[in-house]
Amino acid sequence: MTFERNGAEPHPSLREKLQQGDFVVTAEIGPPRSASLQALRRKARLLKGCIDAANVTDGQSAIVRVASWAGCVALLQEGVEPIMQLQCRDRNRIGLQSDLLGAAAIGIPNVLLLTGDHPRFGDHPEAKPVFDFDSIHLLWTARTMRDQARLLSGRQLKVAPSWFIGAVENPFAPPLQFRAERLGKKVAAGAQFIQTQFIFDVPIFARFMQRVRDLGLHERCSILAGVGPVKSLRALEHMCRDVPGMYVPEEIIRRMRGVPEDRVSAEGLAICAETIQQVREIPGVSGVHVMAFAWEDAIPEILQQAGIRRGGTVGVH
């Protein structure tokens, strides 16, 4: 399947690029807390040409924002291939299957399926969580809908969807020795590509990838290493203290604190670019997923520093 960019010549899709062995770059575009998509469209135009696809988050950190599907429609209109995130926190199995069908019906080619953050971490901590499914059940459901053209109820679909199905994994969550096995469950359930949590400790990630290769999982799904820049010391403290599953080694903390205040953001960009260069050399890594929430303008510069030179515009910081 090729991907049409605003009526221009079709480009290989994310799925096709991974199948042919290209080193891919995906990024994350956070939808706005607003009834307007203009800011998201601006970010899409900035990143167009320097990434292969972009995630639109779904209630990230349990905070209310524009729906992922709406952001994906805007990306399609801007000629950027979207990845729709869908999480289990806010929907039961009826709503989840309906949203999956809706994504396919409007032409969203990729879905990334997650369990979701608990409401207590967000801006409505009193909200009632659903969690009818977890991510593994949702992956299996999506694969069943696509490959068997039927719903969980057993009812047949007149037209089956054809998404490329993704999931997430955190190589740094304890117990470390079982993270690759947990990834294996997601692959068995239907995951075709994986985006990982932020990587700040490359040696731990390399050991995770060794186990992934030992299990042969890199031959059954594509692993995209999650990276991202730290913009400020305040952001660093937030990541270390408040973000579930985040691990930042002391070496990175010392390095960030060891530069003048006006150089912290530049140091964060440099660390991210260096991480991309390092993970690119690890066997089994098929690409990177760049997460620069509210700092998407930095992504083209990060890629240039990492030696991944594509189209797009270097942002101003």
Instruction: Answer whether residue 183 is part of any domain.
Output: yes
Contact partners, residue 91, CB within 8 Å, separation at least 6: 99, 130, 132
Instruction: Answer whether residue 265 is part of any domain.
Output: no
Instruction: Answer whether residue 213 is part of any domain.
Output: yes
- What pLDDT does 152 receive? 96
- What pLDDT does 202 receive? 97
| pTM (global) more than 0.75 | yes
Q: Each residue of 83-131: pLDDT tens digit?
A: 999 999 999 999 999 999 999 999 999 999 999 888 888 889 999 999 9
pLDDT band at 232 (very low <50, low <70, confident <90, very high): very high
d(CA 252, CA 258): 10
Contact 225, 285 (CB under 8 A): yes
pLDDT band at 4 (very low <50, low <70, confident <90, very high): low
Instruction: Answer whether residue 314 is part of any domain.
Output: no
Which CATH number goes with the domain that contains 110?
A: 3.20.20.220
What is the total count of domains within the chain? 1
Q: Each residue of 21-47: pLDDT tens digit?
A: 999 999 999 899 999 999 999 999 999
Among 214, 213, 179, 229, residue whose Cα is nearest residue 285: 213
- Alpha-carbon Rg for the chain in angstroms: 19
Residue 91 domain boundaries: 2-229+286-300
Q: Each residue of 188-230: pLDDT tens digit?
A: 999 999 999 999 999 999 999 999 999 999 999 999 999 999 9
Q: Each residue of 143-156: pLDDT tens digit?
A: 999 999 999 999 99
Instruction: Answer whether residue 208 is part of any domain.
Output: yes
Lowest mean pLDDT among 63-72, 117-126, 173-182, 276-285: 117-126
- What pLDDT does 314 receive? 41
Instruction: Answer whether residue 261 is part of any domain.
Output: no
Q: Each residue of 237-279: pLDDT tens digit?
A: 888 887 767 889 999 999 999 999 999 999 999 999 999 999 9
Instruction: Answer whether residue 240 is part of any domain.
Output: no
- What pLDDT does 315 receive? 39
Contact partners, residue 221, CB within 8 Å, separation at least 6: 187, 191, 192, 193, 194
Contact 14, 53 (CB under 8 A): yes
Instruction: Answer whether residue 36 is part of any domain.
Output: yes
72 has a pLDDT exceeding 50: yes
